[in-house]
Structure 1
């Protein structure tokens, strides 16, 4: 995943990141952005606890 470092930078530069925002900024599909965010789940905390319109932040 060549875009994973860009996702880390995005997460560190914003207070919260959504799948839609990550997908748009990284130029990937929302499904790919979701997979990338889930891959960082040990370092990110889900803020919304919903099934849709979720947001994550660095813990």
Structure 2
């Protein structure tokens, strides 16, 4: 029987970095193109949540 707990962080961390990047780039593009507030809020929330998840992931591995 394989232990999936060791492979999960290897996939989770790059995924969180990708989500963080998408959130930042999306928020920047929305700002430059004058997007609606709902779009800014969605990308901002994605950025904050993925950033917090990365910090929690880092602190748990320490």
Structure with a larger share of its residues in helix: 2
Report which of the two structures shows the higher radius of gyration computed on alpha carbons. Answer: 2
With a CA cutoff of 8 Å and minimum separation of 6, indicate the structure with the bigger relative contact order. 2
